[in-house]
Structure 1
Amino acid sequence: MAHSVFPSLMPADNVLSDYGLCQTSDIEEARSVGERIFCSNKIYSKDPKFNTRVNYRRVNSLGVGRMTYGGETVIDPDVMELFSLVQVPISGREFIESDGKRALFESTQGVVLNSHARTRIHHFGGDKIIIRVDNEVVRRQCQQHLGRTLHKDVEFDAVMNLDTPDGRNMVKMLAWMCDVLSTSDKLSPLLSTQFETTFVGMLLSCQPNNYSAELCEEKGQSIAPSFVKRIEQYIEEHAHEPISVGDLAEYAGVSTRSLFAGFRRFRNTSPMHFLKEVRLRRVHEELLRTPPSSGAVTTVAFRWGFSHLGHFTTDYKRRFGETPSETLQRS
């Protein structure tokens, strides 16, 4: 492959490098690791380059990892019952058969392996990003968006096109997640919740599924400004707590789709972006009251849910016209 669609800020080998589960040329050991984090499986390989490497980290209901089998390998997993698996290539390629349909997984094409689907994977080397997501979380967030109970599980199209605007947005978000997870030993509850809700929301929005038409349907009804103000007040009062889009929708008694529509129409932003701006303001206020000391910026930023200091500093400087350290020196 000439280049990777995965735009990580760090070399691929450094992604989740501190979270290695195994590196082995023993097929039975590789099978056992796969069973521990995914499901029962069988692995076949006669390639002398076979060398399974798995780096993996759990974040709430998500499991995020980087893995390779090294050489040509066939993986025959049992049916996944409680989760779906998203795969995005860094390098290499795979042929994947899922419920009788075959897809080539390489370069600008990822794949979603739905639960309850019979799958067989023919791996030809290279690395991939994997995201294990629990069905119940996807179902709950979809219900919150639609404002009703689902009668069928969410089923995604198997092929994930990564060279479309939606696909590029998805891999950018995954790259950000992987960079943060690779460099932050501890995640605040605020950031862990944000990872879960952002990833599942992006998946529902960007990857075609059996509820896509309904999720994208525009409602004619409007939301009164007083509703938006109530949510803004809630965020102001609870910004120090983990808050998800679902929490806000439940508080307001509306679907998350209506929630987004209200903020888009009356505030030209999203509720989660508003939450981030409130937290940036709280960091600014706290830094102005904090005596200058080594590590103060990191401590305050982490307390308000900002774990990736590079992204935080960029957002902070955009908002206040100076770096957090410059603010601290003025305190």
Structure 2
Amino acid sequence: MMHAQLLSPRSRIFDHADPYAVSGYVNQHVGNHRLLMPRAGRPLASLDHRKFASLDLCRISYGASVRVTSGALDSIYHLQVLLRGHCLWRGHGQEHYFEPGELLLINPDDPVDLTYSDDCEKFILKVPTRLLESVCDEQRWGYPGQGVRFLQNRYQLDQLEGFVNLLAMICQEAEATEQLPKVQEHYAQIIVSKMLSLMKTNVSRVSLGSSSATFEAIADYIARNLKQDIDSETLARQARMSLRSLYGLFERNAGATPKNYIRQKRLERINACLNDPTCNVRNVTEVAMDYGFLHLGRFSDSYRKQFGELPSDTLKRRH
């Protein structure tokens, strides 16, 4: 069976053990959750676990129809592969019965609600958010301001080309007698790159340094990262061009310096938000600080020059 290679008994931590003991260990190493057990019977749980660079690899079965719930995972992603049995997932007003060979992806801000069948066994890969950030940086992909989100949360493993073999290779490497930290780090980067290229995400994989680093690509990068601290040096580095070339590109396309262009786009975004009744704004100060305007007097002045009124007037008008 294709899953046989995803961790072997050499990684066994618990064998036919108390599910609450296994759950306690999982809370410590894999992600915070609550375990709801059936009232009757004495189920026996098993767990294999390995740390691998900044990843955690885990194979788990509870031996009973347990329900696992948790708030958002915060700074980690969970990739779960169903090996045996069934697992009911509930979320976003939907539910889905996962079958062997299916993969579930849980974003850091997704609550978790899973019900295992008695014979359910799954493989879990825990990925920290900072690893996705560093891979995007490394590949010069546009890292979204709100963080990476997987836009589709379930896949058939056999649709993801080469992915299961890569998982198996990582498990094998994790169980190797001699642990090689450098090799592990490379593998961790590869698996995350593979996830970002095979699965649907909000990451723009047009590298600013590729031949299509047109003004449009840079403008798109700015639009996606308006709340981040973007300066000309960062843009030039991302676009792999000199500062002088960057200034020339902005002069030709926008008639402004990169700094002024970014400020203008931030003001436009704030104006759109203040005008939009569905945009949640408590006050002008909050939205200005959100976009990096720390000096409120200067902000109001720039806003008035661009839109002919004070930001507070725009906000008042929409009520």
Asked if Structure 1 and Structure 2 have the same fold, meaning a TM-score greater than 0.5 normalized by the shorter chain, the answer is yes
2:97 equivalent among 101, 104, 116: 104
1:207 equivalent among 170, 179, 199: 199
For residues 78 and 132 of structure 1, the distance between their equivalents in structure 2, rounded to whole angstroms, comes to 16
Whether the aligned pair in 2 keeps the contact of 1:22 and 1:33 (CA below 8 Å) is: no
2:11 equivalent among 14, 19, 38: 19
For residues 255 and 57 of structure 1, the distance between their equivalents in structure 2, rounded to whole angstroms, comes to 39
For residues 177 and 65 of structure 1, the distance between their equivalents in structure 2, rounded to whole angstroms, comes to 12
Aligned position for 2:156: 161
Whether the aligned pair in 1 keeps the contact of 2:170 and 2:187 (CA below 8 Å) is: yes
For residues 129 and 194 of structure 1, the distance between their equivalents in structure 2, rounded to whole angstroms, comes to 21
| 1:32 matches 2:28 | no
Deviations 1:35-66 (A, max 9, x none): 11133322122263622211111112100121
For residues 165 and 62 of structure 2, the distance between their equivalents in structure 1, rounded to whole angstroms, comes to 25
CA pair 149-28 structure 1, distance change in 2 beyond 3 A? closer
| 1:53 matches 2:46 | yes
Aligned position for 2:178: 186
Aligned position for 2:81: 88
For residues 49 and 162 of structure 1, the distance between their equivalents in structure 2, rounded to whole angstroms, comes to 33
CA pair 116-51 structure 1, distance change in 2 beyond 3 A? same
Aligned position for 2:163: 170
Deviations 1:128-178 (A, max 9, x none): 2110000111122123334545312111121122231xx141111111111
For residues 217 and 144 of structure 1, the distance between their equivalents in structure 2, rounded to whole angstroms, comes to 10
For residues 99 and 185 of structure 1, the distance between their equivalents in structure 2, rounded to whole angstroms, comes to 43
**How many residues are treated as equivalent by the alignment?**
215
For residues 49 and 255 of structure 1, the distance between their equivalents in structure 2, rounded to whole angstroms, comes to 60
For residues 121 and 108 of structure 1, the distance between their equivalents in structure 2, rounded to whole angstroms, comes to 17
Q: TM-score scaled by structure 2? A: 0.60
| 1:126 matches 2:116 | no
Residue aligned with 2:134, SS: helix
1:113 equivalent among 101, 106, 111: 106
The aligned amino acid for 2:73 is: M
| 1:150 matches 2:148 | no
For residues 161 and 219 of structure 1, the distance between their equivalents in structure 2, rounded to whole angstroms, comes to 33
The aligned amino acid for 2:145 is: H
The aligned amino acid for 2:157 is: L
CA pair 69-137 structure 1, distance change in 2 beyond 3 A? same
| 1:221 matches 2:211 | yes
Whether the aligned pair in 2 keeps the contact of 1:145 and 1:255 (CA below 8 Å) is: no
Q: How does 1:287-298 map to 2 (within 5 A)?
A: none
Using the TM superposition, give the Cα deviation of residue 107 of structure 1 relative to its aligned residue in structure 2, in angstroms: 2.2
CA pair 217-33 structure 1, distance change in 2 beyond 3 A? same
The aligned amino acid for 1:67 is: I
Q: TM-score scaled by structure 1? A: 0.58
Whether the aligned pair in 2 keeps the contact of 1:110 and 1:159 (CA below 8 Å) is: yes
Using the TM superposition, give the Cα deviation of residue 216 of structure 1 relative to its aligned residue in structure 2, in angstroms: 6.2
Structure 2 runs not aligned, ≥5 long: 214-236, 241-319
Using the TM superposition, give the Cα deviation of residue 120 of structure 1 relative to its aligned residue in structure 2, in angstroms: 0.5
The aligned amino acid for 1:44 is: L
Q: Which moved more, 1:49-58 or 1:116-125?
A: 49-58
Q: Which moved more, 1:93-102 or 1:60-69?
A: 93-102
For residues 78 and 24 of structure 1, the distance between their equivalents in structure 2, rounded to whole angstroms, comes to 28
Q: CA RMSD in A?
A: 2.9
The aligned amino acid for 1:22 is: F
Using the TM superposition, give the Cα deviation of residue 254 of structure 1 relative to its aligned residue in structure 2, in angstroms: 6.0
CA pair 21-147 structure 1, distance change in 2 beyond 3 A? same
Aligned position for 1:135: 129
CA pair 180-220 structure 1, distance change in 2 beyond 3 A? closer
Indicate the percent of aligned positions where both proteins have the same amino acid: 15
For residues 40 and 148 of structure 1, the distance between their equivalents in structure 2, rounded to whole angstroms, comes to 30
CA pair 219-148 structure 1, distance change in 2 beyond 3 A? closer
